[in-house]
Structures are given as structure tokens and as C-alpha cells.
Amino acid sequence: MKLQYPLPQTLALVLCYIQLAFATDSSYQRVEHLDKVPDGWSRGDRPLASELIKFRLAITQHNAGEFEQKVIELSTPGHASYGRHMKRDEVKNFLSPSLAISDQVIAWLRSEKVPTSSIKLDGHWVSFTVPVSQAEQLLKTEFFYFHQQDQQSIAIRTLGYSVPRALHPHIQLIQPTTRFGNLVPQRSSTFERPKPATPEQLAAGCNTAITPDCLRDLYGIDNTTTRPEWQNRLGISGFLEQYARHDDFNDFLRRYAQNHTDADFSVVSINGGQDDQHSMADSVEANLDVQYSIPLADEVLATFYSTGGRGPLVPELNYPDPTNSSNEPYLEQLHYLLNLPDEELPAVLSNSYGEDEQSLPPSYVNATCSLFAQLGARGVSILFASGDSGPGSTCVRNDGTNQTRFLPAYPASCPFVTTVGGTHRINPERAVSFSGGGFSEVFPRPQYQDQAVKSYLHHLGSRWNGLYNATGRGYPDISAQAASFIVRDHGEWVSVRGTSASTPVVAGVISRLNSARLAQGFTDIVLGSSSGCNWTSRNAPPRVRNASWDATEGWDPATGLGTPLFRTLVKLALSDDHM
């Protein structure tokens, strides 16, 4: 629950000190700075001094390492803490900054005459609203209107900001400041534009067209009866103005899930997200997610979270124009979910979206990954698509060096989410060529991956040396079918492929198992490989010939540990060792 921050008497002394200590610009230290206006944007006039901006400030978590270790322990079978998920208030209290630090931050805001009624402290996050003129004084910067080229959109932003030197170690980020988010959707992680499904595809077997029945047969999903339970809610994330259409959902059930024609989903709006059932805009991603996750989950309480807004962007070669990015508003959704009562949280959260890890500010990547960890601590299984560019698309750094490098995806690279890769074909399954995978440049490899990943690196040898971070978090963790999915969209049948298809499949399986344990019970995929670094543009990026990750015995960055065997997972989920 968000609380208005009080101004106790003891804070008055701190306030007096802050006013003296932070009285000059020389006592400020830069937090973030962009060397130039991002490509695709142009700087315009100054905004009105009275225009209001709502800011979010993240206080640095000085006990983040301790918390992350706790999350690992409660997620590790055999550990004494396994399965003992934390309550909402436990998480918040564990991560809340010391009173001295939060008092300093609040006192600084008060010293700059930020209204007490505007300041809200929520764990280690502080929100406040001030006019432009006050924000400029507060952050020792200047705000401008920035215009998105070829668009009608404008945003009030700055190229850098500073905070008092004494507070600098305690402030992780303040947004919106240097955040130049995309305002027009381009794509999710679906690999290609959906194609109309032909009559032959609709009538074909599973090697040509994937349906829920194909997936049940392939992964041994039997007719185990379940009943809706509040402890086993299925959450499906919707971003970029994608709306799951009830008419399409019902049509799909009547044709491909006739035993589940009474299934339905509710819609929750976050940050102004809509539920426009008559929108003519693209909705294939949202429809794909609900049409496959819900029937595979069987009887489940399903919620589609329609989240409005855009996340921050660091320009890169793949998306030199921010209008071509698809950064999703994870921060807005995560704050909403983390403030839900424990009984209203989804047990499984399916996300079919992502972007290059390097396209996001590091402070934003770390802050959002920490929030994913907090959801995990409360028992939420968070799934993300691994992406559809193999080891990377352009394979070029965006730090000005133009260095050739495999490009990991985010949030797929966050060690506190389960990342889903892609396979195709039947008997045997093979890694699909576009299945995203690799090693994070931001997050080190967690201990739980050491044995499996080291085995793969030994197999890999010197191949691709210098193109990836061998000590980074490896992904994906698991995989499922990702090609030739039949989907109903805007009253038509279309064929879709991408790891955005495999993710709701795994979400349905896990939901059906009620947050089943994924430590064992997989069909190991040892055939096929992913490929990438073959994306080209007018920027003519360098390519890596035959760039790929091979599928091997054990874990690999093409398919993870493999695909789920439902019957084995049921036994594991119900065994004494996994209760």
C-alpha cells in the first residue's frame, strides 16, 4: 500500500542540514547523461514552467545481494527454505531502505519545496509530482520538448540530471528524465508478420500446423481434472496497445478446444491500458497468448493485464530510430502487481515481449530485474520469450565502438525469470533457427546454472570467443513449439511463429501443474541450432557468418533444458521432495 510520507519532528533537523549541504550546484553529482539527442528525436522549445511531471525515484537497494540469495534459496528444491514464499509486507520490509536514508531523500525533496502531499514512499521507491521549473531546480538540469521524427508525438525530457553528492550513492534512478521511449509499436517478439492460414494448413497434421491438441499429444498433457483456485491464477501480459479479443477467443475454442468452450478471461487495466474490443490495430500477439495458454491450463482463473505506456530506450543499430523500438512498460506493470494483496497475485505470468538488452539503460534493467525477483519471492512464476534472433540480430554494440558482439535479450536475460526458447517439427523436435539465446552482458551467471552452462561451454570450446560473455546468465531455460501456430485474429485464421508462441504454451503447462517444479522432467532437445547476426539495414552492420547456438545434450542456449514432459512433471510436483 502506498503511503503519503509524513514529516516527523525528527525530520526537521535533517531538513535543515540538507538545505545547507545542498545549497550549491557544486555539491551535486551527475546520475545519468546522454552525449547527444537520440537518433529519431529532435529538441524543440522549452515547456511551460508550470507543466507538471510525475517522477519515480528508486532508492539503491544496499541489501539486494542478500535478498537475491534468499530468492534463490526458496526456489531451490532440497533447501530448507524451498517453497516458503514471502508475503507482500515481508518483501517490502526486507528491501526498504534504512530510515536514515529515506529521511535524507525525503528531506532533500522537502528542501526543494516539493509538496508533502505529493511525496509517496513505497518500499524503496519514491514518487512525487512537480512543475517543470521546480524539477529543473531539483535535478540541476533543463527540460525541453523533444519531437519524435515523422510522428505527432512529443515528450518532455532532458539529456542528463544530477542529485546531491551526499545522496548519489543512494539514488539508483529518477524517471522520466533521460527516458526516450517509443510511442509507436513495431513488433513484439513474434518473428514475422502473421500469414493467412490456408485450408490445407487448417486440416494438416502437427508437422504443418500447431493446435492445442498437437501440444497435448506432444507433451503428454492428459485430461487430469482441475478446478479453478485463487492460488493458481494465470496472468497474461498485454503491452503496445494489443487487446485480446473475446470474439476471436470464443471462435478459437469452438474449433480447437471444444472441451473448454466455457473458458474465459478477465481484463485488468494498468497505467491506462485499454480493452478495445473493436480496435482495428494488430492484436495477434494478445490473441495468440490467450488462445493457447488458457486451454492448455484447463480450468484456470485467467487475467489479461492490459498495460499502457512505454519503457525507456537507449538507441542502437537495430533500432536507430526510437519510433521503431518496442520497449514495454515493465516498471508500471511491476509496481501494480507488487502492490496487490497476496491472494490476488497470479501464480504464473506469461510475457511474450522483449528487446535487446543493450537498448535499455542499465539502471532500468537492474531496477526492473529486481522487481521480477520480488515477484518470484512471492511465488509468481514469470515467463518471458527468449526472442527471435538467435544469438542476435545486428550483432553490433551501440556504445559507439561498433564492435561485433552477440546481443542478448531482456528481460530474457534476467536471472529471476524463466525464459522460453523455441522448437519445431515432431518426432523428433528440433531447435528452431530463430530461437533466441545467449549470455547476459549485465547479469552474472547465477550459481544454479553453473554445472549445466559450464558443460555447454566445454562443448563449445573456442568457437565464438570474444563474441559473448562466457560468465553471464545463460538463457533460455526451457523451450516449446514455436512455429506454425494457428491463431484466430480479427475474424480470420492466421499462422504465427516465434518464441512468443512457445511462452504461453509453457505458461499453460506450469499453470496446469500449479507452479510445478521445473528442475526435472524435460525432453532434451539435441538436434538443430539457432542462427542470427544476419539482420541488415542501411547502416550496413557487420555480420558473423553462420552465427548460431547448437542444441546439445543437457542445457544449451538454443533450447535450454528442453521441452516439458507433463506426466513426469505431475509426479515431481506431487512428490514429497517437491511439496
Q: How far apart, in whole angstroms, are the C-alpha atoms of residue 501 and residue 190?
A: 7
Q: How many helices (H) and strands (E) does the chain have?
A: 14, 29
Rounded alpha-carbon distances, angstroms, from residue 296 to 117, 211, 224, 319, 487: 47, 10, 11, 35, 14
**What are the grid coordinates assigned to 24, written together?**
550549491
Measured distance CA(460)–CA(454) in Å, rounded: 10
d(CA 385, CA 382): 10
Task: Give the 3-state secondary structure of residue 544.
Answer: coil
The torsion defined by the Cα of 347, 349, 350 and 353, in degrees rounded to 10, comes to -170
Q: Which runs of E-coded beta strand occur in 300-397?
A: 302-307, 348-351, 355-356, 381-385
Which ranges of 153-237 would DSSP assign to H, the alpha helix? 199-203, 212-219
Q: For the chain, percent helix, then strand, then coil, each to nearest 5?
A: 30, 25, 45
Buried (b) or exposed (e) across 257-282, using 16+ Cβ within 10 A?
Answer: beebeebebebbebeebebeeeeeeb
What are the cell numbers at 489?
A: 485474429
Give the three-state DSSP class for 125.
Answer: strand
What DSSP character marks residue 3?
E
Q: Which residues are catalytic?
A: 285, 289, 500
